[in-house]
Amino acid sequence: MASTLRADIPVSELLKNDPKNWGRWGADDEIGALNFLTQAEVLRGVQAVRQGKTFTLQVVIGHPKGDPVWPGRAQPVRVNVMDKGHYLCGKGPAFPGHAEYADDMLIMYLQGSTQYDALGHVWCDDQLYNGYDARTTAGKMTKASVLPIAERGIVGRGILIDMARHRDKPVLDRGETFTHEDLLAAAARQGAAIEKHDILLIRTGWIGSFYERDKTEFYSNFIEPGLTYSPELVKWFHEMEIPNLVTDTIANEVTADPISGVVLPLHNALMRNLGITFTEITALDALADDCMTDGQWTFLYTAAPLKVSGGTGAPVNPVVIK
């Protein structure tokens, strides 16, 4: 659809009539919609476990075919600092008993793999989630960082919506969009239902396709498929009290809104305004294949990002139990 609004419309103008959860859990809250995941919600998630199957959702760091990262971010770099070569050269440390060891280090963006965004990661009008001053991000985040999310952890009932299968294709096209109504239609086709407080996992096939595609082609005219902004979609997320959005894309939404031209408006509409945690770059293909095979699309979802003080995000390896 052609843009009908100014391409330079401020995101705050686009979202001016949308709901906010600021102050809902107090002036000092830094975990947002995760507050919906009460002990009762954890038990509801446990009740979704039927078979004992487990799936891990993190992509491999340092994959031989490269790592999917936001354009402009550097690839993770893993470096050996100790290995057998040091001992062969006579430079390995000697220990009583003659044990040897290997050691390495990793240099990466905190959002350079499967990861949780801090609620203060993206903002507009100089205010983060819950109204915190954007100046609290200077040097390190002192408000709405990833640390409170990591200290709390995320546990609840998850549901996978396979949008790629719903549209009968292995991967959604570049820039292909869908709405909450499409999510509901896909859920109905799967024989499942999205319930209030569900952790929402959406498969597009995009990240899985990264490892099979030419990287120049993958990043050329970069625009991911994903959810697209509308006031109705934001209202639905608000009313459903969704605590966590998880997708197999780098940014959880279509890169640029096709109507306004605004880049990543849902980061402000859902994360900044409603406090919904974003989990990005997840590996959902194996889980989706299994759900298609056994017909079970709901499960216990558990995750805890690394506890990084002042972090804008942190890597995570979510575990799903069916």
Q: DSSP strand E in 39-122: where?
A: 54-56, 77-82, 103-107, 115-117
Average pLDDT rounded to a whole number, residues 168-195: 98
pLDDT at 77: 96
* Residue percentage of the chain with pLDDT more than 70: 98
3-state secondary structure of 154: strand
Average pLDDT rounded to a whole number, residues 287-302: 98
The pLDDT mean for the chain works out to 96
Query: Of how many residues is the chain composed?
Result: 322
Do the Cβ atoms of 147 and 309 come closer than 8 Å? yes
For helices 231-240 and 180-190, angle between their N-to-C axes, nearest 10 degrees:
50
Query: Which amino acid is residue 25, in one-letter code?
Result: W
Average pLDDT rounded to a whole number, residues 233-237: 98
Q: How many CA atoms lie within 13 A of 4 on its CB side?
A: 2
Average pLDDT rounded to a whole number, residues 227-256: 98
Query: Within 10 Å of residue 44's Cβ, how many Cβ atoms?
Result: 18
Encode pLDDT of 43-59 as tens digits: 999 999 999 999 999 99
Residues near 277 by beta carbon (within 8 Å), at least 6 away in sequence: 31, 32, 33, 34, 116, 117, 119, 149, 154, 243, 244, 245, 271
Encode pLDDT of 190-220 as tens digits: 999 999 999 999 999 999 999 999 999 999 9
pLDDT at 6: 52
* Residue percentage of the chain with pLDDT more than 90: 97
Average pLDDT rounded to a whole number, residues 236-261: 97
| C-alpha dihedral sign at 272, 276, 282, 284 | negative
Residues facing 321 on adjacent strands: 54, 300
pLDDT at 7: 56
Query: Where residue 8 falls among pLDDT bands split at 50, 70, 90?
Result: confident
- Rounded to whole angstroms, the Cα distance separating 121 from 100 reads 42
* Per-residue pLDDT at 1 exceeds 80: no
Average pLDDT rounded to a whole number, residues 107-122: 97
pLDDT at 2: 38
pTM of the shown model: 0.95
- Rounded to whole angstroms, the Cα distance separating 7 from 167 reads 29
- Rounded to whole angstroms, the Cα distance separating 319 from 210 reads 22
Look up residue 290 and give its two tokens. 């299994």
> Which residue bears the tokens 């939404």?
253
- Rounded to whole angstroms, the Cα distance separating 322 from 51 reads 6
| C-alpha dihedral sign at 287, 289, 291, 293 | negative
Encode pLDDT of 129-167 as tens digits: 999 999 999 999 999 999 999 999 999 999 999 999 999
Do the Cβ atoms of 203 and 183 come closer than 8 Å? no
Q: What is the Rg, in whole angstroms, of the alpha carbon atoms belonging to the chain?
A: 21
Average pLDDT rounded to a whole number, residues 93-122: 96
